[in-house]
């Protein structure tokens, strides 16, 4: 673990804090990857890791990812992430989450004096952040009743749409999806807002979702939207654009060879099943908009909450996802590298410049 931290490419973190509160059963790891651009912002993942080592590695990887995401979102924030080890269900439901545990966790967040700012992630919710915020000022993603910004899916979808417009301009010369056939896999919180933008822009939309109610809700609002049985049918549906908005790993060795779209741009995290997939996409001349760039609307929203949430200000920041995505595609082309590698270079440049300033 220490070798990873001090010597490997995956390391380089500024600070890693191991937290324990035996009374409540809290075992947590807070990883501050970089504060070059500002305090390290990143959510708290609550997960029953098989081993403590697995939890530390997840915190190291996720916090590094947040440094890149925040840098590319143009935020004056570094990257951090925390993990709490254990079943995130409430104590009454057989898990370990309790008010006592969250308060103890809040005291650890506070002890870092603002170097780390926490928020929700898998296994933690706005109600949990409200509790953590009783012990720490360095918490965002709270409920609207407690000064929070509320549902982040609105700006996440808006940001994905901006990234998609940038992809359309790069491929077809105009920043619009008008007349393009777009397949959206997963029409939950983000996906259904994305469909609204696409319809307004004049796109032809095809959707799929494992939950029939989600599809019915979209078709009730936009009867012109068509639905197919599953993702496998969607990716073969003669698409111009594929928008994965369900789970991670949407692009793998089975899907890429049969993908009909020329552009992939969606909200789902970790779309590439393994790093080699990006090269496979490039070999098929499919343009990939890096997921962590185009889905940054959510983090832009929670970051804005730190200053007293202002929807219009956050939306203006999310609009810049268009320029950032366009810059990434241009850099990928000029350097002859895949877009995700170009995104990493731009983020590293921003962090290095901040360190020199
Ligand atoms: N909500 C945000 O602000 C935000 C921010 C950044 C990234 N993301 C990512 O975007 C994705 C969607 O987030 P969300 O908040 O809309 O989640 P959600 O749970 O509201 O929606 C996901 C939808 O995908 C559907 N789905 C699940 N498995 C599927 C499958 N195999 N095929 C088709 N549909 C399937 C679900 O039924 C659901 O309707 C997730 O990967 C999430 O991590 C969300």
Query: Residue 109: phi, psi to the nearest 5?
Result: -60, -45
pLDDT of residue 52: 95
Residue 237: which pLDDT band, with cuts at 50, 70 and 90? Answer: very high
CA atoms within 13 A on the CB side of 295: 22
Residue nearest to atom 39 of ligand 1 (CA): 188
* pTM score of the predicted model: 0.92
Query: Residue 116: phi, psi to the nearest 5?
Result: -125, 130
Over the chain, what is the mean pLDDT?
95
* Beta strands, E only, the chain: 15-21, 26-34, 40-41, 44-47, 78-85, 116-117, 181-185, 204-208, 226-227, 241-244, 263-264, 287-288
| Residues lining ligand 1, Cβ inside 6 A | 152-153, 156, 185-191, 208-211, 214, 231, 245-247, 267-269, 295, 298
Pairing of strands 204-208, 226-227: parallel
The SS3 call for residue 253 is coil
Distance CA 34, CA 116 (A): 10
Ligand 1 geometric centre to CA of 214 (Å): 11
Average pLDDT over residues 217-236: 97
Distance CA 298, CA 179 (A): 28
Q: Does the pLDDT value for residue 6 go beyond 90? A: no
243 in Cβ contact with 162 (< 8 Å) = no
Q: Which of 157, 189, 272 to mutate to test the pocket of ligand 1 (most atoms within 8 A of CB)?
A: 189
Residue nearest to atom 30 of ligand 1 (CA): 210
pLDDT of residue 352: 92
Residue 291: which pLDDT band, with cuts at 50, 70 and 90? Answer: very high
Q: Which of 78, 68, 81, 85 lies closest to 109 in space, CA to CA?
A: 81
Nearest atom of ligand 1 to the alpha carbon of 211: 37
In this structure, the dihedral spanned by the alpha carbons of residues 224, 229, 233 and 234, taken in order and rounded to 10 degrees, is 40
Residue 11: which pLDDT band, with cuts at 50, 70 and 90? Answer: confident
- CA 75, 28, 11, 116 torsion-angle sign: positive
Residue 65: which pLDDT band, with cuts at 50, 70 and 90? Answer: very high
Q: Does the pLDDT value for residue 247 go beyond 90? A: no
Weakest-pLDDT range from 16-25, 45-54, 269-278: 269-278
Average pLDDT over residues 79-89: 97
Name 127's Cβ contacts closer than 8 Å, sequence gap at least 6: 143
Ligand 1 geometric centre to CA of 75 (Å): 24
Nearest atom of ligand 1 to the alpha carbon of 155: 3
Domains and CATH numbers, the chain: 2-69+77-146 (3.40.50.10860), 153-296 (3.40.50.720)
Q: Does the pLDDT value for residue 71 go beyond 90? A: yes
Residue nearest to atom 33 of ligand 1 (CA): 209
Q: Which tens digit of pLDDT belongs to each residue from 299-344? A: 999 999 999 999 999 999 999 999 999 999 999 999 999 999 999 9
Q: What 8-state DSSP symbol labels residue 139?
A: B
Distance CA 317, CA 308 (A): 15
Average pLDDT over residues 234-240: 97
Ligand 1 geometric centre to CA of 157 (Å): 11
Active site residue 315: no
Structure tokens at 78: 């570094």
Distance CA 172, CA 240 (A): 10
pLDDT of residue 10: 78
Q: What 8-state DSSP symbol labels residue 97?
A: B
Q: Give the end-to-end CA distance of the chain in Å, rounded to a whole number.
A: 32
Average pLDDT over residues 248-253: 93
pLDDT of residue 275: 86
Distance CA 69, CA 265 (A): 16
Q: Which tens digit of pLDDT belongs to each residue from 183-195? A: 999 999 999 999 9
Ligand 1 geometric centre to CA of 123 (Å): 14
Q: What 8-state DSSP symbol labels residue 93?
A: G
Of these residues, 69, 81, 97, 181, which one is catalytic? 81
Q: Which of 267, 272, 273 to mutate to test the pocket of ligand 1 (most atoms within 8 A of CB)?
A: 267
pLDDT of residue 313: 97
Average pLDDT over residues 230-235: 96
Ligand 1 geometric centre to CA of 9 (Å): 30
Average pLDDT over residues 4-12: 82
Weakest-pLDDT range from 8-12, 110-114, 247-251: 8-12
């Amino acid at each position: 673990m220490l070798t990873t931290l001090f010597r490997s490419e995956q390391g380089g973190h500024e600070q890693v804090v191991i937290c324990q509160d035996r009374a409540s059963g809290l075992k947590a790891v807070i990883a501050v990857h970089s504060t070059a651009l500002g305090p390290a912002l990143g959510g708290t993942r609550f997960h029953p890791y098989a081993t403590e080592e697995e939890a530390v590695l997840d915190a190291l990887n996720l916090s590094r990812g947040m440094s890149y995401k925040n840098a590319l979102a143009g935020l004056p924030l570094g990257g951090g992430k925390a993990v709490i080890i254990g079943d995130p269900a409430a104590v009454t439901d057989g898990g370990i989450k309790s008010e006592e545990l969250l308060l103890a966790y809040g005291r650890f967040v506070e002890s870092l004096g603002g170097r780390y700012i926490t928020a929700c992630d898998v296994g933690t919710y706005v109600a949990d952040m409200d509790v953590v915020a009783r012990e720490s000022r360095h918490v965002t993603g709270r409920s609207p009743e407690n000064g929070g910004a509320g549902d982040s899916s609105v700006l996440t979808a808006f940001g994905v749409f901006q990234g998609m417009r940038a992809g359309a301009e790069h491929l077809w010369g105009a920043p619009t999806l008008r007349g393009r056939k777009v397949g959206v896999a997963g029409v939950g919180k983000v996906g259904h807002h994305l469909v609204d933008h696409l319809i307004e822009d004049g796109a032809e939309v095809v959707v799929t979702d494992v939950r029939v109610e989600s599809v019915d809700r979209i078709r009730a609002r936009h009867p012109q939207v068509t639905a197919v049985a599953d993702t496998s049918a969607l990716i073969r549906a003669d698409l111009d654009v594929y928008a994965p908005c369900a789970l991670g790993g949407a692009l793998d060795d089975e899907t890429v060879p049969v993908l009909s779209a020329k552009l992939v741009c969606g909200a789902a995290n970790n779309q590439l099943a393994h790093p080699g997939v990006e090269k496979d996409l490039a070999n098929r001349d499919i343009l990939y908009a890096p997921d962590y760039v185009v889905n940054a609307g959510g983090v832009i929203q929670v970051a804005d909450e730190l200053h007293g949430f202002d929807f219009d200000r956050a939306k203006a920041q999310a609009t810049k996802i268009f320029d950032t995505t366009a810059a990434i595609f241009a850099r990928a082309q000029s350097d002859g590298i895949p877009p995700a590698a170009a995104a990493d270079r731009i983020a590293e440049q921003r962090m290095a410049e901040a360190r020199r300033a």
